[in-house]
Structure formats: structure tokens, C-alpha cells
Amino acid sequence: MLGSMNELNPKDAQARLQQGALLIDVREPNEYDEVHATGAQLMPLSDFQNSYASLPRDAEIIMICRSGARSERAGQFLIDQGYGNVSNLTGGTMAWVQDGLPTGDDK
């Protein structure tokens, strides 16, 4: 492992999103369609190694899944590939929803 990943709570993640961070949801399409954090881009873990290279290396990237485990693995993978500003959203989509933050395509 090249570096360690930061952990963010949902409200801090939302604030960073509003400042231009990318929110990457690594769940499968059916999970994403059911509920997702507003602004999240779907990049399923099942295809992540084939799609991650499209992410800008200079962006702040926040990883999210259902509860935080899959996104932590994907985020560590990005760090191992040389991405420098990667965080994991602690508690994932479940915590995002529990905190009452916007879901779907709401703004």
C-alpha cells in the first residue's frame, strides 16, 4: 500500500462535493438505481479495474458504496495506482440517507 485513505462522514463529504470533489459509487447498477447520493457517479466495483483510469488524478475523489466496505477496497486500489486525494465515505449510502442528505437526481 502506498498511502492511507481518509474517512469522511456524509455531511463533510457533501461539503467537499459542493467544492468540486467527485463522488464515486462502486455499487452495482440495481443498487444505484434503488437509491444513490445526489451527484454520485456510478462506477461498479465489478468493472472498476477497467474503468478507474477515466478518473482525473488531480481531483479529490470520495468513494461510496452501501456501508463503506466495497468503497474502501476501491479507494485503496486507487491509492495503490498513484491517486493522491482519495477518501472513503464512512457508513456509505446508508449513512448518507440516515443523515437526510439528498438522493437521486435532486439538486
Quick check: 107 pLDDT over 60?
no
Beta bridge partners of residue 86, listed in sequence order: 61
Task: Tell me the mean pLDDT in the region 49-67.
Answer: 96
Instruction: Choose the catalytic residue: 22, 26, 62, 65.
Output: 65
Quick check: 61 pLDDT over 80?
yes
Q: What is the DSSP letter of 87?
A: E
Beta bridge partners of residue 8, listed in sequence order: 89
Kindly indicate the confidence band of residue 1, based on its pLDDT and cuts at 50, 70 and 90. very low
**Domain 6-98 top-level CATH class:** alpha beta
Quick check: 19 pLDDT over 60?
yes
What percent of the chain is modeled with pLDDT above 90?
91
**Active site includes 65?**
yes
Q: For 1-47, give the DSSP string.
A: -----EEE-HHHHHHHHHTT-EEEE-S-HHHHHH--BTTEEE--GGG
Task: Tell me the mean pLDDT in the region 91-100.
Answer: 96
The pTM score is 0.94
Burial 30-63 (b: 16+ CB within 10 A, else e): ebbeeebbebbeebbbeebeeebeebeeeebbbb
Kindly indicate the confidence band of residue 5, based on its pLDDT and cuts at 50, 70 and 90. confident
